């Protein structure tokens, strides 16, 4: 957390920025912290998962929705296409979604999208609570930047839903601005034209005390809002979801699904996330966006941008006299492992944690060796750059093959059965998501 004197300085800076006229220099504004322009030929798996975070990050649908999320996406021509098509054998739809590994508190979120056109369609762009510091889930909070439902009756192609859930239910009085196109009773934007005839830009500012929704750069509403759990405490940080659901008797499938209209595609040109900063890194725009809301009007003060996480660093000591090269270590079946694991631990981080290091087969995923130690200060020594180093001994890997050396943290949480894996960050030479519940530290090539 930022100290009180730093908060006071930050407040003064923000006040000065708000009352002075615009000049050639700007020191506060939006800083791009995450983006994907989908310019390659495949999905960047270090940025995105393709299932919901629940059920050990394998959940492929909610409730009675008819879709099942598969890797049914295509990246081509600078566009991500999430396609839903009928699976006649199972009376379901094979569809697609992406979920960001990276998590956030607050910021400006923008996506350029082309919406589908079929009864039963339910694409969405939303922010969902991730793991908390103990590896637990909380719901609410949740922010639905938009949900585009076509059910052929109550919800039509010219309508778009936008809402947020928290500890308290919304009231009309919580809205400080409402555009004439937004119907408060249903929290729906109603357009004169169908919204699936062209590309559109959805924008959303999530501040500590309010949210604002934009459509093609036009402010639709601003509402007072706090990201709170059911117990009134600040919720875990959020990840970003873009998904193409189909059906569901309660809403999108209330009046049936037009099977003949499928396959349908929800297309995404880009996704960008910017957070407000008072430093020189701030700018008027969020990346190259021409519809970014003015930070003078929609900036905010926040001590948090994400939840602090322990960070695993590069491992260089595994076997005496053998050094890794570009994240790969070659060793023999007779080499016992004497591992030093460097990890940066945030200030005031809970100590009721255990650190586990393990070796698993690259092909089968089978674990071949592991060891565990408590995270308390007495179990580690200080390394370079403020990192702590924990030492482990594992037996030699007895069979030739390719393996990974991995590590994770677990916590014993009151009311939970068994230890919970907790969120960590990975800053190693092995390519992987920066945020995860485990980190690959090295590739091990084992030979006789």
324/224 same-domain check: no
110 and 241 within one domain = yes
| 370, 357 Cβ separation under 8 angstroms | yes
344 shares its domain with 414: yes
| 375 and 232 belong to one structural domain | no
> For 144-186, what is each residue's pLDDT tens digit?
999 999 999 999 999 999 999 998 888 999 999 999 999 999 9
* 287 and 415 belong to one structural domain: no
pTM of the model: 0.91
305 part of a folded domain: no
Report the alpha-carbon angle 250-252-257, nearest 5.
115
pLDDT of residue 378: 61
C-beta separation of 447 from 332 below 8 A: yes
| Domain end call among 273, 298, 323 | 298
3-state secondary structure 61-90: CCCCCCEEECCCEEEECCEEEEEEEEECCC
Same domain, 18 and 139: yes
| Residue 87, domain member (yes or no) | yes
Residue 13 lies in a domain: yes
pLDDT score, position 413: 83
* pLDDT band with cut points at 50, 70 and 90 for residue 122: very high
Q: Check whether 385 has a pLDDT greater than 80.
A: no
* DSSP labels, 183-249: ETTTTEEE-SS-TTSS-EEEEEEE-SSEEEEEETTEEEEEEE---B-TTSSBPPPEEEEEEEEE--T
Residues 396 and 269 in one domain: no
| Range of the structural domain that residue 413 is part of | 311-447
Q: How many domains does the chain have?
A: 2
- With respect to residue 303, please indicate whether it lies within any of the assigned structural domains: no
Residue 342 lies in a domain: yes
**pLDDT 10s digits, 283-336:** 999 999 999 999 999 999 999 999 999 999 999 999 998 999 999 999 999 999
Show which of 238, 266, 298 is a domain's final residue: 298
Do 257 and 344 lie in a common domain? no
CATH number for position 432: 2.60.40.1930
Q: What is d(CA 150, CA 315) in angstroms, rounded to the nearest whole number?
A: 52
Query: Do 93 and 148 fall within a single domain?
Result: yes
> Both 394 and 281 in a single domain?
no
* Preceding omega of 140 cis (within 30 degrees of 0): yes
Q: Give me the mean pLDDT over the 15-44 stretch.
A: 74
294 and 317 together in one domain: no
């Amino acid at each position: 957390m930022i100290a009180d004197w730093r908060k006071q300085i930050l407040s003064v800076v923000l006040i000065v920025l708000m009352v002075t006229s615009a000049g050639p220099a700007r020191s506060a504004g939006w800083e791009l912290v995450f983006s994907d322009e989908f310019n390659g030929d495949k999905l960047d798996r270090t940025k995105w998962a393709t299932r919901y975070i629940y059920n050990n990050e394998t959940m492929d649908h909610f409730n009675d929705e008819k879709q099942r999320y598969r890797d049914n996406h295509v990246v081509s021509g600078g566009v991500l296409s999430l396609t839903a098509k009928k699976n006649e054998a199972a009376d379901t739809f094979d569809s697609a979604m992406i979920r960001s590994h990276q998590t956030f508190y607050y910021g400006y979120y923008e996506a350029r999208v082309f919406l589908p056109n079929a009864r039963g369609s339910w694409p969405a762009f939303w922010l969902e609570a991730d793991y908390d510091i103990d590896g637990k889930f909380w719901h609410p909070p949740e922010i639905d930047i938009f949900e585009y439902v076509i059910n052929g009756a109550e919800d039509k192609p010219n309508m778009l839903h936008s809402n947020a859930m928290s500890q308290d239910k919304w009231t009309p009085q919580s809205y400080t601005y409402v555009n004439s196109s937004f119907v408060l009773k249903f929290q729906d934007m109603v357009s004169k034209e169908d919204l699936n005839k062209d590309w559109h830009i959805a924008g959303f500012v999530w501040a500590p005390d309010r949210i604002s929704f934009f459509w093609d750069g036009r402010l639709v509403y601003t509402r007072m809002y706090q990201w709170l759990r059911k117990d009134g405490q600040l919720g875990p940080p959020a990840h970003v979801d873009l998904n193409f659901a189909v059906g569901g008797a309660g809403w999108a499938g209330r009046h049936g699904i037009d099977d003949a209209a499928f396959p349908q595609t929800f297309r995404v040109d880009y996704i960008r996330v910017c957070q407000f900063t008072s430093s020189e890194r701030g700018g008027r725009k969020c990346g190259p966006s021409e519809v970014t809301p003015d930070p003078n009007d929609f900036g905010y003060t926040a001590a948090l941008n994400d939840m602090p996480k322990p960070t695993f660093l590069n491992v260089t000591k595994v076997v005496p006299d053998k050094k890794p090269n570009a994240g790969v270590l070659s060793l023999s079946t007779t080499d016992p492992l004497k591992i030093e694991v460097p990890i940066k631990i945030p200030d005031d981080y809970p100590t009721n944690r255990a650190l586990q290091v393990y070796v698993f087969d690259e092909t089968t995923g089978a674990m071949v060796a592991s060891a565990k130690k408590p995270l308390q200060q007495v179990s580690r020594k200080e390394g370079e750059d403020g990192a702590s180093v924990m030492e482990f001994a594992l037996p030699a890997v007895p069979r030739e093959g390719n393996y990974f050396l991995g590590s994770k943290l677990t916590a014993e949480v009151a009311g939970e059965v068994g230890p919970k894996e907790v969120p960590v960050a990975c800053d190693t030479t092995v390519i992987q998501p920066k945020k995860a519940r485990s980190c690959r530290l090295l590739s091990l090539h084992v030979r006789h």
